[in-house]
Amino acid sequence: MVKKFIGVLSEEKIRRYSAVPLSSVRVIRQDKLSRMDLGENGSLLVMLIPYYVSGEKRNISVYAVPRDYHLYFSILGEKLVSSLKEDFPGFVFRTAADNSPVDEVDAAVRSGLGFFGDNGLFISPEYGSFVFIGGIYSDMPCENYGIPSAVPGRRECSHCGKCRKACPGDPSDKKIGCLSAITQKKGTLTSAEAELIRKTGTAWGCDICQQVCPFNTGVKDTEISFFLESRTPYLTYDFVKNMSEGDFSSRAYSWRKRETILRNLAILEGKEEESGGI
C-alpha cells in the first residue's frame, strides 16, 4: 500500500524528494535544532518545490510573482505532517522552510537532488535553480520512509562564469552591492543604487544570474497550482499603492513594507516627487 505522505506529494505535483540523516547535513542553528528534540537518529525529508513559469514580462523576481511561498509551505506542511503521523505513529515530525536549522542547499545537495552553482544557488537537473527547498524534520531514521535514495545527476557547476559576468551589481563593492539587496533595502537609496534599479528595470529581487545560467535553459514550468494562481508579474506604482492590505500582505515583498516596493516603482516610473520621496 502506498504511504499517505507519498500520496500528498503526488497530489501536490512534488516529484523530487529524498531523505538524509540529520547527522550528515550542515547545521547552522544548533539552538533551533536542539529545540526540535529529535535525538541522535533524526532525519530530514528534503523536497524540491519548482516555481518557474515561462513567457511572462516581469519587473520582479520570478519567486515573487505568485503569492508568498511561505503560505504554500504552511499549507503543505500541515498536510504532510498529518499524513506522516498516520503512516508512522509514534514519531515526531516538524516542518521548516527558509528558516531551517540546517543549510537547506547543503542538505539538498547531500540528498542527491542537485548541485551548487557558482551564483550560490542550488541547481536541480529538472528545474534549474528555480526551486524552493522544503524540509520535514523527524526523530525517525531516514530508512523508515522507504523511498529510494536520489540518484545524483551532474554533481557540480560547469564554472562557465556567465553568472558573474552578467551580475549588474558588485556584492563586494559597498557603493553598489547586490541588486536584490538594494531592492529590499529600506529608506532612501543612494544615486548609484537608484540608477541600478533604473538600468535593470527591476522593482524587486534579481534573476539575472539565473537567466544566463546554462542549467536554466529549457527548465520545466511548475505544475503546482499555488504558483500558477494570483500571478502579478509586472507591477506598477498605482497597482501596488491601491492593493488591499490583505492582498499586499500575501506577497513576498510585503515583509519590507509597502513603502519599499513603492519607492522602487517610483524610481522606475519617474514618480519620486509624487511619491513624497519614498
Nearest Cα to 163, choosing from 225, 97, 214, 226? 214
Same domain (yes/no): 140, 192: no
Q: Are 119 and 9 in the same domain?
A: yes
For the ranges 33-47, 128-142, 239-253, which has the lowest average pLDDT?
Answer: 33-47
What is the pLDDT, as a whole number, of residue 39?
83
- Kindly report the CA angle at 130 between 237 and 20, in degrees rounded to 5? 135
- Is the pLDDT score of 22 beyond 90? yes
**For residue 229, pLDDT beyond 90:** yes
Same domain, yes or no: 46 and 134:
yes
Query: E strand or H helix at 61, and its extent?
Result: none
Higher pLDDT, 125 or 248: 248
Structural domain of residue 182, as residue ranges? 162-269
276 located within any domain: no
Q: Is 201 exposed, middle or buried (CB count within 10 Å of its CB: 0-12, 13-18, 19+)?
A: exposed
Task: Determine the pLDDT at residue 227.
Answer: 97
CA separation for the pair 200, 17 (Å, rounded): 35
- Tell me, yes or no, whether 10 and 122 share the same domain: yes
Element (H, E) at 131: strand 131-138
Q: Is residue 151 part of a domain?
A: no
The pLDDT of residue 270: 93
In a shared domain, residues 96 and 139: yes
pLDDT band, residue 176 (cuts 50/70/90): low
Domain match, 130 and 68 both: yes
Model pLDDT, residue 275:
58
Looking at residue 161, its pLDDT comes to 94
117 Cβ contact partners less than 8 Å away, ≥ 6 residues apart: 123, 129, 157, 163, 213, 215
Query: Within a domain: residue 154?
Result: no
Grid cell, residue 39, equals 535525538
Q: Which amino acid is at 108?
A: A
Cell numbers standing for residue 228:
500558477
Taking 80 as the threshold, does the pLDDT of residue 152 lie above it? no
Please, what is the average pLDDT of the chain?
91
Based on the fold, state whether residues 68 and 179 are members of the same structural domain. Answer: no
Q: Do 16 and 141 share a domain, yes or no?
A: yes
Which ranges constitute the DSSP H helices of the chain?
Answer: 4-11, 30-36, 69-87, 104-110, 162-166, 179-183, 191-200, 208-211, 225-228, 237-241, 245-249, 257-269
Q: What is the pLDDT of residue 273?
A: 65
The amino acid present at 67, given as its one-letter code, is R
- How many Cβ atoms sit within 10 Å of the Cβ of residue 263? 27
Task: Name the pLDDT band for 93 (thresholds 50, 70, 90).
Answer: very high
Confidence of residue 150 (pLDDT cuts 50, 70, 90): low
- 260 and 208 housed in the same domain: yes
Domain membership flag for residue 100? yes
Where a domain ends, among 145, 180, 209?
145
Q: Which of 139-143, 153-157, 177-181, 206-210 has the lowest mean pLDDT?
A: 153-157
- Quick one: pLDDT band at residue 276, thresholds 50, 70, 90? low
Q: Among residues 115, 145, 175, which one ends one of the domains?
A: 145
Alpha carbons 229 and 2: distance in angstroms, whole number = 29
Number of domains in the chain: 2
Q: By C-alpha distance, which of 15, 71, 16 is closest to 229?
A: 71
Domain assignment present for 155: no
CA separation, residue 262 to residues 60, 179, 227, 252, 267 (Å): 13, 16, 23, 14, 9
The reply to whether 135 and 198 lie within a common domain is no
Q: Which of 145, 176, 202 delimits the end of a domain?
A: 145
Is residue 238 situated within a structural domain?
A: yes
Mean pLDDT of 118-140: 94
H or E element that contains 271: none
Same domain, 116 and 79: yes
**53 and 141 share a domain?**
yes
Q: Is residue 274 part of a domain?
A: no
60 has pLDDT over 60: yes
Per-residue pLDDT band for 76 (boundaries 50, 70, 90) equals very high
140 inside domain: yes
